[in-house]
Structure 1
């Protein structure tokens, strides 16, 4: 932290837009003439080539070089780097979190690149598994690439960015830049630039403090989904997959430009020409908007003359000997985070008190965090923070009643230019053990004479304390009786309790009449589910919403209603449907969701409308996989959906996939077992373990996803195909059959397995795509799908790995045939059942139902020797 009386710190220097050039001491790793590529069995170290001043790789025109670099000649930290030659600026480093000494070595083998330290321990590697490495290439864009014998890319440094993006490089959605700790320490710090489907954002400990679209220099050209960020000779762009501009920052024309997330936390775009750097763009431009510019609770004020930050302590705080701001009242200290200690003892969040910093202050995350509008008073705002061990304080707006929490980490505060605004800041404090002037605990004074006045005051004080304890006990009893509601559990609140009390932390609560007006008395039904119908509505602010009306008010309906509020209301992901609010009035239960204008996947995929193109199908698969990966591993609690199917995958603008219907979800804490055995879900997507009373975990969702993936490839239901030498056409009823009389219904997962074994992947593609998809593209999804439907759950990849495969970051898995043989049994039984139905003259719909039910029964009985299970049981409550 720096203050007005101190010399400027590196953070301040970063704000002053110091040139981003970092000078390196580089070692030549090979005495060979410069080349743009090297081949396996190459190795080198800093010590081996210390007398050379070049690099072991040089791009064709000499624009970039690769070398072993030491950012500071006084340091012993060495890195494998890619450097822009003209400016001597590093654009990428391999082992930024694991530097090695001058005795470390780099090896290039047929398996890839490996870096070992002086003791021979591996510190970093790039080992692609697709095929053998033929060469390491440095191209003219600065991309370090491992290629095979056919010059196919096996691994690229551009896919693993550090803190810099250059011309020709794409930063895809889901990837990020992470700043270095300093110019000499390249390890990742707490600042990240993340690319979402709608924007580029800067975050500190997960808290957003800047968005590109909100910058005054940025222009939003469309509302399309963002696919990647890039910079070129004319500016900085967020682009859609078809290359259309979503957000742009227009800059002067230049040949070389970089975007870098600086150690200060600012994202800078700079161009290099005529031997010097030109600073073109910086975000945020206000240095006081950097989360930790003045340290913890440091007050940042903008110097109007130099437009640089000046640091001090806010009112009621002073500068301590440790150069940080602490309460003036030494009997209190700043609150410590969850599971941390304060002065050696565990902190009780509910025992916290609040110290005001007065009016005229702001916090970097207030513009981006969710406003908690309780419509009550300041005490409620503070109570919410007191009950949250990740909350460090609040900002309360007297005029609107909005409450903003300071969460996760406590950063600097901003001295607002508008000193009379209504925003009032409060910092959470805890009492510290009282000490005497010589630093010893007050218990050392027991030998002193006991004051006589205490004999008079103590009995009165004791009475007051007893009364206070009584009031506290009564209040806590009332809260536990009426206010604390644990969602997703059998003790869900009654309708009377929901009517009488506001529930802090939940999505917006709507009045029934408000939603009745919005839906025109529930006039337009757009869908239905196991617990009611879904209607379209328009809120007063013109927002279109989907309103789910819960009609089954039995025990299960109430439980799932509360589960959906708790689950959907507390998770936020671009591939998950957002819950905007709810209504609980009398026996009425309504959920208000964001409206998905393209409806559900099954209507688009299996309907008679325009055909989904292959890229759209792939994007839907990837979006669904990302949503499931977040549910399984990105939330505080693991969430198993239990009913993944096309009907529960909704499509928004540009066919962006969003997973819906969390009524069947199960919440599991890390301490709890990840297994449960209640039969839930939809026939056709149920994993084998559902049918055998085996343990259920997140791998059941993986199986269901694999079945959906097969349907995305074929454009048909997995069990709605006739077969005649595998020649498939559409019949007049809209189902797909052979041109002659069929032999029965084909079980498509088995057909996919057979074609995989024969390498005939184009046989599996939706024929409506004609020649608009390649065998390689189909193979990728079929291999992932078959791996997902392995009978043995442990052989199925997790959803994080599935996302990696679809994104191309990790190799595609190879299906294990021995764990897919159950599909042959399922297929035979399904075909037998359909043929029996055909002989009895059943129509297609009855055939399908009979075959599916028969398949379920034999899967649960003959194959696994378990008791018979009816189709209704297998289907679950849907």
Structure 2
């Protein structure tokens, strides 16, 4: 259509014609004559008959946008334009299904609403409509009121427009009082999750200041275009099923480590339990196959068919490896054709060369065995170096610091600000005057190297306001350092349990919400599902203005989108371990939810989950003697009695109401259900904290295990012996040592192993 085209209203409907009178578009056949055309306040263009009955409305025919009040039913979709100037249909579509909303590129999924970190799933019902109103985006059931999935959007009522942009991103913008468009929602949020963001076979790397597009190793940018082609001029990329592959010699170009493809996370593999060669044969025999991925551990095979988009850099321990199909081209520019009828004459020289080759092969094997024995010890020493070299070859890693740079930044490691099982943390200042925390890995070895690489791969490739940012690393000789952003208030544990100023109630709520948002992003907003495995106050860092960030990803576990659980060795900190760690059952993201619940109870009480109590809780016991109190058990008992103020930190001195304490206690108890399936997701916890979702009711039957854990810890501690013995008893439980204590104290608290580990610290 052009500016010279004409829109006409007739009794038969709307008609668009060009200058010559040719009809370009018209409304479908209508059941009666049109009497009027109305443009409603919602933006809906409506044709009505003489009785004011609707004959046609523009809301029933969405293009690339949705406005407030508009409903898009299941089966309908938004479709992008080619560009801002070319309004013909593009390659992207947003489709409403009976279970979800999906974004597609050439009919391949690359985003789902249910997997977005801002989405809250309320029920498992069937979806009938997608609607947007002043408060957010909703998927509604057939009754028009049951919310299946929702995205809550803050801000005052006003004009909102959701649009599928030509680049493949679905965004919702609000027009504010200063007459500016403000972005409220974007899907996918990360540029590198958009399928064609860097062109065909382009490699997208996420950086703090935006994306970087490049070509994978073995490819270079095509002259005159943004796509990537093989550097080897004897290879060409095939087109799907156009005859170019017929009788052609096929080769495969291997992609580097950590280069994943968007569709792998949104579909099932075509085969499971197969070898790489089988997967390659499947692709070679399929003319629509342009490449494939193979996961060695599970034998899963994924085919890339019909269209090739961009690849994106993910953590380098991604288990899948990709291969791009290429055709071998002759010097004349034509594909090399196999001549299957050609016969080869066996040369006479072969009769001489074969025995000689066998002899030299035997000599070589003997020499190799001797060499291996000689170098066995030296091979052990090179393990660390090989891991280091592997990291150098992987694109997309954060800045690599020299050891001398960190010595200068920390003034020879002068200011010590923390320590733990991993090593020691020092404060430093970079040459640009940026303050940093330099984490020195001291417990190094095979496991330490794995944790070091894990932390780099996770923090270096994710960006969220509630996750600590990795600025760089050092791997020089035997030295291993992580350079992290500096959080000047220290850990939540030091503030909550220290002798400094008391955290006000609203500060505690904001901290709890920040932790929940960070975990929700790890569980559902990343390329791969990330389970932190060590959520505790010491791993929550604070900065001015209540900036809350989760840190220490050394023992975290990465899962692909198709994985929901995993088995692994015990990892984490006593007092925060979910029961399933100790029962041999699969671990899921609900283990983090349990740990979060324990942290939330400590935020409410202001005390470690097991500590010596010399005052307060008068209704619980009339004894005046010091007691070891297991506060999760107290929280459960006070919840049953509806006496929530008994749980609150007494240092708040009336700065909180019973209703406010009840909200956090109920959420925390739901998090520590013994049955993982009964625990809420972190996304739902965010919704409950923000008020967008109703509070869940803890199920007492699934919390009875707290009574077993806490029974002995609420018995009176006889303060006998010297002050030195008393100090020993206090340190045993306040410091949560996993080694336990000796003598009578250990005997009086004789727990089975699971209770020692998963119970109080």
TM-score, L = length of structure 2 = 0.57
**Counterpart-to-counterpart distance in 1, 2:543 and 2:518:** 14
1:242-267 deviations in Å (ceiling 9; x for gaps): xxxxxxxxxxxxxxxx668999x9xx
CA gap of 1:336–1:808, structure 2 versus 1, over 3 A, is farther
| Offset from partner CA, 1:299-356 (integer Å, 9 cap, x none) | xxxxxxxxxxxxxxx984599xxxx9999x999766899xxx997999834389xxxx
Which residue of the other structure, out of 665, 676, 684, is the alignment partner of 2:575? 684
Residues 309-388 of structure 1 correspond to what in structure 2 (within 5 A)? Answer: 316=223, 348-350=252-254
Aligned to 2:127: none
Matches within 5 A, 1:748-759: 748-759=631-642
Distance of 2:534 and 2:68 partners within structure 1? 45
Going from structure 1 to structure 2, the CA distance change for 1:512 and 1:768 (only over 3 Å counts) comes to same
- On the 8 A contact 1:178/1:191 being kept in 2, the answer is no
CA displacement at 1:407 relative to structure 2: 4.5
Q: CA deviation at 1:500?
A: 6.5
Pick which of 563-572 and 530-539 moved more: 563-572
What per-residue deviation string (whole Å, max 9, x for no partner) do you get for residues 412-455 of structure 1? xxxxxxxxxxxxxxxx9964477999x999569989xx9xxxxx
Is residue 74 of structure 2 the alignment partner of residue 191 of structure 1?
Answer: no
* 1:637-656 matches, cutoff 5 A: 637-656=528-547
Any idea what SS the aligned residue of 1:643 has? coil
Q: 1:824 to 1:555 in 2, by over 3 A?
A: same
- Measure the CA separation in 2 of the matches of 1:739 and 1:589: 54
Q: 2:566 aligns with which of 675, 688, 691?
A: 675
- 1:627 Cα offset (Å): 2.1
Check the 8 A contact 2:45/2:57 in 1, yes or no: no
- Output the CA distance in 2 between the equivalents of 1:318 and 1:500: 33
Counterpart among 601, 605, 623 of residue 710 in structure 1: 601
| Residue segments in structure 2 that go unaligned for 5+ positions in a row | 4-8, 12-29, 49-53, 78-97, 102-118, 124-130, 139-144, 188-193, 203-220, 257-290, 294-308, 314-322, 344-349, 351-371, 373-378
Match of 2:629 among 733, 743, 746: 746
Structure 1 residues 51 and 332 mapped into 2: Cα distance closer, same or farther (>3 Å)? farther
TM-superposed deviation, 1:723: 6.7
Alpha-carbon separation, structure 1, partners of 2:388 and 2:121: 58
Aligned to 1:666: 557
Q: 2:588 aligns with which of 691, 697, 702?
A: 697
Deviation for aligned residue 1:568: 2.7
Structure-1 residue corresponding to 2:426 = 535
Secondary structure of the structure 1 residue equivalent to 2:72: coil
What is the rounded CA distance, in whole Å, between the counterparts of 2:634 and 2:417 in structure 1? 34
- Conserved 8 A contact 1:721-1:747: no
Deviations 1:776-798, CA, capped at 9 Å, x for gaps: 33222222111110112222123
- Give the distance between the partners of 2:545 and 2:705, measured in 1 at CA: 37
1:494 matches 2:383: yes
1:546 to 415, 433, 437: 437
Contact 1:681 1:874 (8 Å CA) reproduced: no
CA RMSD of the aligned region, Å? 6.3
- CA distance in structure 2 between the partners assigned to 1:617 and 1:77 by the alignment: 45
Is the aligned partner of 1:91 residue 2:91? no
Aligned equivalent of 1:86: none
Change (3 A) 1:508 1:757: same
Question: Does the 8 Å contact 2:605/2:649 carry over to 1?
Answer: yes
2:719 match: secondary structure:
helix
Distance (whole Å) between structure 2 residues aligned to residue 262 and residue 561 of structure 1? 34
Query: Structure 2 vs 1, CA of residues 492 and 624 (structure 1 numbering), >3 Å: closer, same or farther?
Result: farther
**Compared CA separation, residues 594 and 532, structure 1 to 2 (3 A):** same
Which of the residues 393, 413, 419 maps onto 1:504? 393
**Against the structure 1 CA distance between its residues 232 and 629, is the aligned structure 2 distance closer, same or farther, given a 3 Å change threshold?**
closer
Equivalent residues of 2:292, 2:324 under 8 A apart? no
Deviation at 1:653, TM superposition (A): 3.6
Give the match for residue 491 of structure 2. Answer: 600
Question: How do residues 430-449 of structure 1 correspond to structure 2 at under 5 angstroms?
Answer: 431-432=326-327
Map 1:578-657 → 2, pairs under 5 A: 578-657=469-548
* 1:818 corresponds to 2:701: yes
Query: What's 1:252 paired with?
Result: none
Cα 1:572/1:325, change in 2 over 3 Å: closer
Contact 2:597 2:667 in 1 (8 A): yes
Secondary structure of 2:558's aligned partner: strand
**In structure 1, which of residues 78, 81, 85 is the aligned counterpart of residue 60 of structure 2?**
78
Partner Cα separation in structure 2 for residue 577 and residue 509 of structure 1: 18
Q: How far off is 1:538 after superposition? A: 0.8
In structure 1, the residue matched to 2:178 is: 234
Alpha-carbon distance in structure 2 between the residues aligned to 1:769 and 1:93: 47
- Indicate how the Cα distance of structure 1 residues 837 and 154 shifts in structure 2: closer, same or farther if over 3 A, else same: farther
| SS in structure 1 of the partner of residue 646 of structure 2 | helix
Distance 1:64 1:625, change over 3 A: same
Q: Compute the displacement of 1:640 (Å).
A: 2.6
Return the offset for 1:128. Answer: 11
Is 1:180 matched up with 2:61? no
The answer to whether structure 1 residue 726 and structure 2 residue 617 are counterparts is yes
Distance 1:512 1:794, change over 3 A: same
Shift of 1:516: 0.6
- Hey, what's the Cα distance between the residues in 2 that align with 1:816 and 1:572? 35
CA distance in 2, matches of 1:429, 1:690: 40
Q: 2: CA distance between counterparts of 1:764 and 1:69? A: 62
- Tell me the CA shift for residue 769 of structure 1: 3.2
Q: Could you say which residue in structure 2 is the equivalent of 1:763?
A: 646
Of 508-517 and 702-711, deviating more is 508-517
How far residue 533 of structure 1 moved from its aligned partner, in angstroms, is 1.0
* CA shift for structure 1 position 651: 1.3
| Structure 1 residue 683 displacement after superposition | 2.0
Q: How does 1:194-593 map onto structure 2 within 5 Å?
A: 231-236=175-180, 316=223, 348-350=252-254, 407-408=310-311, 431-432=326-327, 494-497=383-386, 503-505=392-394, 506-593=397-484
| Matched-pair contact (CA < 8 Å) for 2:122–2:147 | no
Do the aligned partners of residues 179 and 343 (structure 1) sit closer, same or farther apart at CA in structure 2, a change above 3 Å counting? farther
Task: Give the aligned length.
Answer: 562
Gaps of 5+ in 1: 1-6, 14-22, 26-45, 84-88, 101-120, 131-137, 147-152, 172-176, 183-188, 195-228, 237-257, 266-289, 299-313, 353-387, 391-405, 411-427, 451-458, 460-480, 482-489, 729-736
Q: 1:629: Cα distance to partner?
A: 2.5
DSSP-derived class of the 1:805 partner: helix
Distance of 2:638 and 2:528 partners within structure 1: 39
Separation in 2 of the partners of 1:664 and 1:440?
50
Rounded Cα–Cα distance in structure 2 between residues aligned with 1:69 and 1:659: 55
Deviations 1:635-668 (A, max 9, x none): 4443332221100111134222211112222334
> Aligned partners of 2:703, 2:75: CA distance in 1, in Å?
41
**Cα distance per residue 1:218-248 (max 9 Å; x no partner):** xxxxxxxxxxx97543344xxxxxxxxxxxx
User: In structure 2, how many angstroms separate the alpha carbons of the residues matched to 1:445 and 1:127?
Assistant: 59
- Could you say which residue in structure 1 is the equivalent of 2:665? 782
Q: CA deviation at 1:715?
A: 1.8
1:578-623 deviations in whole A, cap 9, x for unaligned? 2222222222222211111221111222223233233322222222
Q: Answer whether contact 1:167 1:233 (CA < 8 A) is retained.
A: no
